[in-house]
């Protein structure tokens, strides 16, 4: 019996030592990441100082070109958007940023029905943030919700990097696959979707809002506005769809302290395949045009002079 416990103890000591060393090495790999998704998240959480911050998922990441906002609003801009992530990730990014400074403007790209989506699945996706658990205590509330034993599992430094290796090491070999570093978080998409011969389809839903999503979204917005950050909530266009109404959009329209910009039914975009890579994501030209229009709307809402002649073309 003694023999067993002695050997188990020895194995545990070896494991703890290796786990600690592996964690240490991987942390160096993480903080020195030359570009890619881990560089972007690390920069967003720990080093960003820009005046304008874009929050959102893949459509935020691809549709908002920071340099356009910088040119027209004369403020610096950083895009924190990340594909496959939703509200818990935006909240984590926000907490990392607000723990250091308050941006002047926050642009939050939302999906037309996102307040009806349940959060439980979104937290699973936030596993992407595990490597930041130790360096960024402000986001632990998000990571701890991934599973009930997450805190316990994260005692292992190696576990924090579970399944992250491919995207962690890839930028050291191939650069720019998750967007060029000089594009400030913007991930450009190239290519054009095939033109649709039919008229844009009407999109109208009235899904019940998810209580936990709604609560987190309100906390997310309040944390920004309470610190004096102006919040613009934007709905991006989808090719071939015009959104008549959704419970999410109706709710956001009624929200105080934020300004709502809706491009989900703008005919300049929804009819123009030249601007889209696929049904949901704008290509590089579409993103530049869209960013110009969003910044134009912000200027108008700020009662400043717009340099853009084109305004929104609403489909009726």
Partner 1 sequence: MLFNSIDFAIFLPIVFLLYWFATNKNLKLQNLLIVFASYLFYGWWDWRFLFLILFSTIIDYSVGIRLKKNEYKSKRKGLLWTSILVNLGFLGFFKYYNFFLDSFVTAFSFFGTEIQLNSLNIILPVGISFYTFQTLSYTIDIYKGKLEPTKDFIAFSAFVSFFPQLVAGPIERATNLLPQFYIKRKFEYENISKGLKMMLWGFFMKLVVADRLSLYVESVYGNIDMHSGISLMMATAFFAIQIYCDFGGYSLIAIGCAKLFGFSLMQNFNRPYLSLSFKEFWSRWHISLSTWFRDYLYIPLGGNRKGKIRTNTNLLVTFIVSGLWHGANWTFIIWGALHGLYLVIEKILGNFRIPKILNIIFIFSLTNFAWIFFRASSVEESFKIIRLIFTSSNFDLYIGDKGIFSFSILALLILFINDFISEYYPKLKLFENKSIFVRYLSITFIIIYIIAFGVFDNSQFIYFQF
Work out whether 209 is an interface residue with partner 1 (CB under 8 A): no
Work out whether 152 is an interface residue with partner 1 (CB under 8 A): yes
Among residue numbers 163 through 192, which ones bind partner 1 (CB under 8 A)?
Answer: 163-167
Residue 27 and residue 53 in contact, taking contact as beta carbons nearer than 8 Å: no
Nearer to partner 1, 67 or 159 (CB): 159
Work out whether 19 is an interface residue with partner 1 (CB under 8 A): yes
Indicate which single residue of 9, 18, 28, 301 sits in contact with partner 1 (rule: CB under 8 A).
18
Stretch that binds partner 1, among 95-103, 160-168, 224-232, 290-298 (CB under 8 A): 160-168
C-alpha–C-alpha distance, residues 314 and 312, integer Å: 6
Residue 60 and residue 103 in contact, taking contact as beta carbons nearer than 8 Å: no
In a 3-state reduction of DSSP, which class is residue 315?
coil
Token duo for residue 297: 């709307």
Stretch that binds partner 1, among 7-15, 58-66, 180-188, 273-281 (CB under 8 A): 7-15
Stretch that binds partner 1, among 68-76, 133-141, 154-162, 246-254 (CB under 8 A): 154-162
* SS3 letters across 38-61: HHHHHHHHHCCCCCEEEECCHHHH
Indicate which single residue of 162, 201, 212, 313 sits in contact with partner 1 (rule: CB under 8 A).
162
Residue with tokens 């934007």: 234
Binding mask 106-135 for partner 1 (x = CB under 8 A): ------------------x-----------
**Could you tell me the CA-to-CA distances from 38 to 16, 136, 167 in Å, in that order?**
25, 14, 7
Work out whether 14 is an interface residue with partner 1 (CB under 8 A): yes
**Could you tell me the CA-to-CA distances from 103 to 47, 151, 224, 228, 290 in Å, in that order?**
13, 31, 9, 9, 22
State the residues that interact with partner 1 by CB under 8 A: 1, 3-4, 7, 11, 14-15, 18-19, 22, 124, 147-149, 152-153, 156, 158-159, 161-167
């Amino acid at each position: 019996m003694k023999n067993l416990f002695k050997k188990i103890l020895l194995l545990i000591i070896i494991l703890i030592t290796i786990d600690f060393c592996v964690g240490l090495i991987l942390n160096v790999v993480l903080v020195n990441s030359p570009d890619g998704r881990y560089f972007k998240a690390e920069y967003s959480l720990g080093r960003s100082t820009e005046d304008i911050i874009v929050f959102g998922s893949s459509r935020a990441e691809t549709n908002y070109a920071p340099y356009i906002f910088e040119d027209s609003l004369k403020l610096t801009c950083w895009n924190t958007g990340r594909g496959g992530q939703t509200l818990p990730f935006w909240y984590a990014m926000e907490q990392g940023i607000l723990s250091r400074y308050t941006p002047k403007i926050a642009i939050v790209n939302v999906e037309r029905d996102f307040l009806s989506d349940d959060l439980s699945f979104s937290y699973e996706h936030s596993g992407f943030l595990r490597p930041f658990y130790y360096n960024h205590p402000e986001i632990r509330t998000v990571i701890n919700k991934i599973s009930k034993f997450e805190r316990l599992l994260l005692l292992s430094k190696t576990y924090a990097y579970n399944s992250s290796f491919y995207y962690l090491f890839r930028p050291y070999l191939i650069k720019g696959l998750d967007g060029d570093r000089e594009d400030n978080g913007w991930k450009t998409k190239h290519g054009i979707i095939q033109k649709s011969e039919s008229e844009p389809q009407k999109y109208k839903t009235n899904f019940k809002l998810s209580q936990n999503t709604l609560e987190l979204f309100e906390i997310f917005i309040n944390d920004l506005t309470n610190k004096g950050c102006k919040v613009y909530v934007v709905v991006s266009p989808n090719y071939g769809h015009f959104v008549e109404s959704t419970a999410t959009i109706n709710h956001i329209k009624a929200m105080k302290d934020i300004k709502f910009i809706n491009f989900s039914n703008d005919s300049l975009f929804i009819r123009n395949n030249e601007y889209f890579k696929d049904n949901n994501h704008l290509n590089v030209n579409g993103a530049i045009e869209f960013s110009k229009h969003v910044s134009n709307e912000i200027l108008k809402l700020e009662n400043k002079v717009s340099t853009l002649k084109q305004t929104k073309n609403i489909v009726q």
